[in-house]
Every structure is written in structure tokens, then in C-alpha cells.
Chains A and B, each alone.
Chain A
Amino acid sequence: MSEVAEFNLAAATQAPVPGARRRRGGHVMILAAVLGLAWIVPFYYAVVTVFKSTSDYASGGPLSLPHAIAPIIGNVVAAWQQTQMGTGMANSLGYGVFGAGAAVFFAAMAAYALARIVFPGRPAWFMLIFSGTIFPFQIYLIPLFQMYARVGLFNTRFGLLLAYIAICIPFPTLVLKNYMAEIPRELDEAARIDGGTHPRIFASIILPNCIGPLVALFLLQFTWIWNDLIFSMVLTQDTSRRSVMNTLMVFQGNYAGSTPNLVITAAVLASLPTVLVFLVLRRYFMQGLSLSTAR
């Protein structure tokens, strides 16, 4: 549900603010600054901790500055090896790329039917697909686990991927249906009079007009899959198939090997790819938005 929200993020950063820039009273500024400081302390803590060796961390306070830069290398190597993060990242990269890719493509197909083909009962067909967003994830866990165990999909990468695809279809269907409905009719009517078939119109006229939202939705769903913990916990068992957040969670709960500096280094490592993805995502959001406002 927060996906809907995040999709609007670029609008907030781009939308014109009504009213000119005003000067604020000093006390409001101070309040905002103090709150901002409180907000940034956990980040500061994570950043200084990444540079502390285990003994540095134990001897100084949690907010003290690190003595040297070098310990970060040891932390990254140890965190990487002990969490087996390479495996987790490779898995999540696969889940994210193929899961989000397939989900957004299938959603685009469904959206084409719902927005560009006239047939009876369209709202009901749409609701059937969109109803996949109204239940909390908890309601899927036991049935999926049980079904997967029965058909041999439990603890397989393919099974987890299928679940990710299913969860990532309904929301993009909504966004793309609304987007495709705005594309002028004349574009495909000309093609249909010339005898163009639906697959051809879809592939050569509609899809090329949706690149912005397709990329934005792909990155959004990729981020969701990358950040997923619970489906990997329920549907996989072996370290070799876990998602990256699942490997992080297991490492964090493993008392023997994990010291604060290593766990926090692992948390930062696991988060970096999606933070980078977001930087790319912002640009594509704006592209998608300028496309939609230009029409």
C-alpha cells in the first residue's frame, strides 16, 4: 500500500509550492533543526560504527568518532563472509530482476486488455486482479507454505520467485491501466483499420508509450522484493536460497559471531543497492511524470 505513496514521491519534489518562500521565526527553525538532528543520529551512529574495529567499538562510546578509517575493510570482509552476503545478494538480484520484470510485464498485458479492449465486465475483471492488494501478507503464508511443500516448490528459488511475481502484479496493473487509458485512441485505431492485431498494437504502439512508468514500476517492485524478509523466511530454508534481508536477519540473530560493528556493517551493505536504485528511481519518476504532463 505504501507503494502507491512512493509512486507519488516525485510529484512532491516537483510540484510547485503555492505561496512564495517565506521567512520563518527563529524558534521554528531551531525546532526543525533539533528534530532533524534527532533524525540523523541513527545514521551518524551507523556510519561511525562501520569504521570501528570490535575493540574500538567496545572501548569508546557508541557515538564517539572512530580512531582510523582502516577498520572498515576488515568489517566489510568479515561481514560479507560471515553473512554469506554474496549468496544473498545474488539471490535477491535474481528475485528482483526476474520477479519485478515478469510482474510488470504481466501487469502491462492485463492493463492493455483493461484499458484498450472493449469487453463486458471490465471493472469486475480489474477488481479480481486488484483484490490481491487488500489482504495482509500473513494470510498467504500458511497456504503458500503448504501448497509449496506438496508440489515440491518449497525451498526452491523458482517457488519464491513465483510468489514475488504474484504479489507484484496487482499494483502495477492499477497504475498502467490508468496510464494506458490516457493514450489517445487514434494511435491504435489507425493500426486496427490496417489490420493490426492486439499483440502487435500492444508491442509496437502501447508499450513504447509507457516506458517511463514501466521503468519506475520495475524499480519500485525490485526494491520491494530486495527488502522482503517474511516470504523468504517462510518459503526457503537453505542459506543458498535466502533473500539478502533474510541472510542479514539470520546474521543479526546469531550471537556467537556477530558484534555490533559487524551487524551494522552488514546492514549498511545490504541497504546500499536499494539506496542507489532509489537515486536512479527518482530520475525515472520525473521522466515518467514529464511524459504524463506533456500530453
Chain B
Amino acid sequence: MAAAVRGTRSGAATRRRDFLAALAFMAPALGFVGVLLLYPVAYNIYISFTAWSRFVGYNRLVGFANYLHALNDPNFSAAAQNTVVWVLASLVLPVTLGLALAVVLRGVRGEESLKTVFFLPRLIAPTAIGAIWYYVYAGNGVINTVLRSVGLGGLVRSWLYEPATITPAIIVTYVWQTTGLVMVLVLIGLAALPREPIEAAHVEGASPWQVYRYVILPMLFPTLLVVTIISVIAGFTTFDLVWVMGRDYPDPSTLTLAIHQYWESFRANHWAYGAAVAVILGGIALLITWLQVVLQHRYERTLQ
């Protein structure tokens, strides 16, 4: 009896000691994340409802005024439209191209070296990539030189200075940089697929295309979903590449919402408005992540 009582008491004491130990072990991580990431998120949301601006620092609460200002700001609309282009392009291009490359390159001669070539851009910082591609698109740069030499001189233009071409041009660079990563992720997904259904389909006489379309692609859905979400969120929050390649553009504030946010906050010093744009960007990111969770659940339910 006494032993049992002592046992439970020391059990409770152990649990208490374990909990304190766990807290102590988590303390640095919780401290850094809490003070430098989570508190700033809350603080940023608060600022977005004030009339705070740098140097003035006047923090009067103004409700949704900054969000309404965003809706009426032509630069915000232009940046939002370009951001939609970014979302759509990064939804479709890297994933389609990466999937095609993964499927085509598997098993061909020189597979390893070709894979390395496509992955190589991923190893270099976006800032350095932007600096190189800035000159690829320059007046006497690579693209215009190639166009002239193949007799398409009429297409020569200042790619990074014209409203119609700057966003597509930077997206091409983004696709060049990210497709290799998508390809590698798809290859991981392909390698993890069970082999029996694929072999069964081959035995039943399905053509290679039919096997891909009706057997491999459906099984690859979870991989493609994750890859797509990664690529979309990375795409529409891209800063380095757009800033380095596009800041000479006459109105860089219109390039994307991420650039708009930086420009308004740290060039125009409109903190409260910049904070509101950041909240909008965060909202879109959360929405996309939520969509991924929903789609994944639905997929898992159809499997059962």
C-alpha cells in the first residue's frame, strides 16, 4: 500500500519534472520563434489597422482604411494582376515541364548528366541568377543576339523595360531556375510508386501513353499536389529575382505584390499600408495551403 502511494506520488513528480524538462528544452526555439516570428505577425496585423508611417510614427487606429486604399490604388491593382499571372504561371509551367522531363529522362542514355543540367540553376542564389539574366535580356544580350542571328530581328526589344514583356521575361527565368527541382521531386514520387499496377497494365497491353495517363498519373497525384503548392507559394512571393531584374523598370512597384509591399514600406515609407499588403499576401498563402490540405483529404478519401 505504502509502496503504491509512493509510486503514484513519484509518478506525478516524474511527470511534472518531465514537463519542466520539455519546456526547458523547447525554450530557445519557442523564444526565437515567438519573439522574432509570431509576435511580428501579430504586430504586423495590428500595424495594418493603423495610420503608421515611418518617421511620422503616428499610430491612430483607422480600421480597414489601408485595405480600402489597396483596392483603390492603381499600382496595387497592377501588382495584383501580375501576381495572378505569377500564380498561374508557377501553377502550370514548372510542374508541367518538370513532370515531362522526369517522365522523358527516366531511362534515356545520359540521364544523369541531363538531370544535372536541369538541376544546376537551383544551386545558384536567385540574386546571382537575376544578375546574370539581367544581361541575358539586355539590348545586346543573349536573347536579342540569337534573335538577330536567326533572322527574327523584328522581335528584338528591351525585354525588362516594356510592360508587356517584363513579367513573362522574369517568369521564364523563374521557370529556368525551378523546373529542375520539380523534376527531382517528381522522380522521387515516381520511384516510390508500387510497381505491380504498372507492370499489370503493361502485361494487359496498354500503350506507354495509356500507362502514364491512367495508371501512373493518378498515383502520382499526392506528389504533384505538394510540388504544385510549393511552386505556387514560392512563385507569388518571389522577391530576389524580380527585384534584381526589374528594379530599373519605370514603375517597379507594379511588378508583383511582394515588390509592391517592399516598395511601399521601405521606399515610400508607408508602413501601415505595406503591412496591409503583407497581410493580404499572408492570407493568400494560407488559402493556398488550406486548399492543399482539403484536396489531400479528398484524395485520401477516394482511395478508401
Q: Are B131 and A117 in contact (CB under 8 A)?
A: no
Q: Tell me how far the C-beta of A130 lies from the nearest C-beta in chain B, rounded to whole angstroms.
A: 9
Interface residue total, chain A, C-beta cutoff 8 A:
100
Give chain B residues whose Cβ lies under 8 Å from the Cβ of A118.
15, 18
Interface 0/1 of B283-294, CB less than 8 Å to A: 001100100000
Interface 9-mer from B68-76, B120-128, B160-168: B120-128
Q: Are B29 and A107 in contact (CB under 8 A)?
A: yes
Give chain B residues whose Cβ lies under 8 Å from the Cβ of A119.
15, 18-19, 22
Once A18-B191, A113-B25 are accepted as A-B contacts, the answer to whether A31 and B41 lie under 8 Å apart by CB is no
Chain A, range 15-51, C-beta contacts under 8 Å to B: 15-22, 24, 28-29, 31-33, 35-36, 39-43, 45-46, 49
Give chain B residues whose Cβ lies under 8 Å from the Cβ of A147.
40, 43
For A274, give its contact among B21, B123, B181 (CB under 8 Å). B123
Q: Are B140 and A62 in contact (CB under 8 A)?
A: yes
Q: Are B132 and A46 in contact (CB under 8 A)?
A: yes
Interface 0/1 of A175-189, CB less than 8 Å to B: 000000000000000
Q: Tell me how far the C-beta of B185 lies from the nearest C-beta in chain A, rounded to whole angstroms.
A: 5
Q: Are B230 and A18 in contact (CB under 8 A)?
A: no
Q: Are B125 and A129 in contact (CB under 8 A)?
A: no
Chain A, range 103-141, C-beta contacts under 8 Å to B: 103, 106-107, 109-110, 112-114, 117-120, 125, 128-129, 131-132, 134-141
Q: Are A138 and B237 in contact (CB under 8 A)?
A: yes
For A1, give its contact among B105, B191, B234, B277 (CB under 8 Å). B234
Interface on B for A, CB 8 Å cutoff? 15, 18-19, 21-23, 25-26, 28-30, 32-41, 43-44, 47, 101, 104-109, 114, 117-118, 120-136, 138, 140-142, 145-146, 176, 181, 184-185, 187-188, 190-193, 195, 198, 227, 230, 233-234, 237, 239-240, 243-244, 247-248, 258, 261-262, 265-266, 271, 274-275, 277-279, 281-282, 285-286, 289
A-B contact pairs, 24 of them (CB 8 A): A21-B107, A41-B142, A107-B29, A119-B19, A132-B33, A136-B258, A139-B41, A140-B37, A140-B41, A140-B44, A141-B265, A141-B278, A143-B40, A144-B36, A169-B33, A198-B25, A245-B240, A249-B243, A252-B134, A263-B134, A263-B135, A264-B135, A267-B129, A270-B127
